[in-house]
Amino acid sequence: MSGAKEIRTKIASIKNTQKITKAMEMVAASKMRKAQERMRATRPYAEKIQNVVSHLAYAHPEYHHPFLEEREARRVGLIIISTDRGLCGGLNINLFKTAIGAMKEWDADNLEIDLDLIGTKSNAFFKRLGGNVVSTASQLGDAPSITELIGTVKVMLDAYEEGRIDRLYIAHNVFVNTMTQQPVLKQLLPLQGADDETLKTHWDYIYEPDSKPVMDALMIRYIESLVYQGVVENVACEQAARMVAMKASTDNAGNLIDELQLIYNKARQAAITQEISEIVAGAAAV
Amino acid sequence: MPITLHVDIVSAETEIFSGTATMIFAPAEMGEVGIAPRHAPMLTRLKPGEVRVQAESGEELSFFVSGGMLEVQPHVVTVLADTAIRAADIDEAQALEAKERAEKMLTDKIADIDYAKAQAELAQSVAQLRAIQKLREKARQ
């Protein structure tokens, strides 16, 4: 039987792969639900702190926070949030493409770039290709906690406050739905004021003890919460992308098995026919 | 009906409490404050401690916060609770760690990005993905 045994082992091996991808698909689906849940849980804080910050933009404290000041850019900071693991389709690649596109433009404008990389994949990518990386964080897991981000965000905020960078951007994936994840790049600093017409009257907070420490603490928390949200959303994107990628490979494995099965059946049939004709020929000769 | 104010207690990772109250007490940096409805707008930091909320029913709820911010508007009080223990020196140590990680990663540091190489590589990956997609569409037909 020509190659029938080889075909059989090949089918068995593809079946094993299919089992693995199927399992990964199901794991990713359940993790995605949890990640979406987590994404929803972070929303109240983000909305509330956003409210407070936009209130602040209309209050008139004697202290003007540097995060609200627009200055001429000479050097920009970019926070890139990637996944820790692969096998999630084009998720990271599309994000890097967006980031590299923007970086190339900045480079053409003679702006220097400081990078803050979150996630193992971005670390690996920029390690290979170079870039001025000033801080990193990785292995945040499926349930990232804000504690792990404080340090790496502080590096960038300090740089901004000390005037080493003049703009701060963040790049991460946005969860549109299970099938679509959109890479986005947006500006964090200086803060861009939200428009809320109802608040445009003259009033101010009572600051305790003083406007400076209160605003400092608030602004840091605001930026941290934005970065944290980006990280949580990116986890949801990762799981969704992995689910889709694994579903595709499970389907592909199925197609491959069907094709191989057909070839195997043909080979078997041919072998049987040949044997019969040999027997018949042998009997006729006797 | 007593005058009430809306209270939201949220942390970065989850929502802790949302509802109406007649009074709320919080451990502000300068000492504990009690906020009644129609309080003047106020913004302050919180110390680790207990936030007590007097609900409309007269029941008192209490929550522990490890610091955070308190925003008061005449009819809305927002507590932005920290989940992490915050102190200047702890934050500093974490920032240093993040920097060290970056330095360790880039022992053979190349400060200039090779944009041409990066774009070529990305374009290749994108092309691969597109080819896979096309193959899949073909297989489906």
Q: Say yes or no: A160 contacts chain B, CB-CB below 8 A.
A: no
Q: For residue range A102-161, list pLDDT tens digits in order.
A: 999 999 999 999 999 999 999 889 888 888 888 988 888 888 988 889 889 999 999 999
Rounded alpha-carbon distances, angstroms, from residue B117 to A110, A111, A275, B107, B120: 19, 20, 59, 20, 5
Tokens 């110390």 correspond to B47
In this prediction, residue B134 carries a pLDDT of 77
Q: Say yes or no: B96 contacts chain A, CB-CB below 8 A.
A: yes
Q: Say yes or no: B56 contacts chain A, CB-CB below 8 A.
A: no
Q: Say yes or no: B28 contacts chain A, CB-CB below 8 A.
A: yes
For chain A, the C-alpha Rg in angstroms (whole number) is 28
Q: Say yes or no: B110 contacts chain A, CB-CB below 8 A.
A: yes
Q: Which CATH architecture has domain B91-140?
A: Up-down Bundle (1.20)
| Cα-based angle B116, B122, B128 (whole degrees, multiple of 5) | 135
> Is the bond preceding residue A61 a cis peptide, omega within 30 degrees?
no
Cβ–Cβ of B99/A103 closer than 8 Å?
no
Choose which CATH entry (2.60.40.10, 2.60.15.10, 2.60.40.290, 3.40.50.720) describes domain B5-87.
Answer: 2.60.15.10
Of the candidates A32, A34, A74, the residue with the CA atom closest to the CA atom of residue A238? A32
Of the candidates A108, A106, A117, A116, the residue with the CA atom closest to the CA atom of residue A75? A106
Q: Using a CB-CB distance cutoff of 8 angstroms, which residues of chain B are in contact with residue A205?
A: 41-43, 71
CA–CA dist A20, A163 (Å, integer): 51
Q: Say yes or no: B14 contacts chain A, CB-CB below 8 A.
A: yes
Tokens at residue A249, please? 């490979």
With a cut of 80, say whether residue A218 has pLDDT above it. yes
In this prediction, residue A194 carries a pLDDT of 56
In this prediction, residue A199 carries a pLDDT of 54
Q: What is the mean pLDDT of chain B?
A: 83
Task: Specify which residues A136 forms β-bridges with.
Answer: A117
Instruction: State the alpha helices, DSSP H only, in chain A.
Output: 4-58, 91-108, 120-129, 147-161, 211-285
Could you tell me the pLDDT band of residue A241, with boundaries at 50, 70 and 90?
very high
Cβ–Cβ of B94/A158 closer than 8 Å?
no
Q: Let me know if B14 is exposed, middle or buried by CB neighbors in 10 A (0-12, 13-18, 19+).
A: middle
Domain boundaries, chain B: 5-87, 91-140
Task: Specify which residues B68 forms β-bridges with.
Answer: B46, B81
Cβ neighbour number for residue A194 with a 10 Å cutoff? 13
For chain B, counts of helices (H) and of strands (E): 2, 6
Cβ–Cβ of A209/B29 closer than 8 Å?
yes
Of the candidates A234, A157, A222, A90, the residue with the CA atom closest to the CA atom of residue B12? A222
Given B41, B43, B84, which is nearest A214 (Cβ)? Answer: B43
With a cut of 80, say whether residue B105 has pLDDT above it. no
Could you tell me the pLDDT band of residue A51, with boundaries at 50, 70 and 90?
confident
In this prediction, residue A53 carries a pLDDT of 84
Of the candidates A62, A107, A79, the residue with the CA atom closest to the CA atom of residue A231? A79
Cβ–Cβ of B98/A93 closer than 8 Å?
no
Q: Using a CB-CB distance cutoff of 8 angstroms, which residues of chain A are in contact with residue B117?
A: 129
Q: For residue range B29-58, list pLDDT tens digits in order.
A: 889 999 999 999 899 999 888 899 998 888
Q: Using a CB-CB distance cutoff of 8 angstroms, which residues of chain A are in contact with residue B8?
A: 44, 48
Q: For residue range B108-134, list pLDDT tens digits in order.
A: 555 566 777 777 778 778 877 777 777
Q: For residue range A56-100, list pLDDT tens digits in order.
A: 777 766 777 888 888 888 999 999 999 999 899 889 999 999 999
What DSSP letter does each residue of A216-246 carry, written as one string?
HHHHHHHHHHHHHHHHHHHHHHHHHHHHHHH
Q: Using a CB-CB distance cutoff of 8 angstroms, which residues of chain B are in contact with residue A255?
A: 139
Q: What is the mean pLDDT of chain A?
A: 89
Of the candidates A65, A77, A196, A207, the residue with the CA atom closest to the CA atom of residue A132? A77
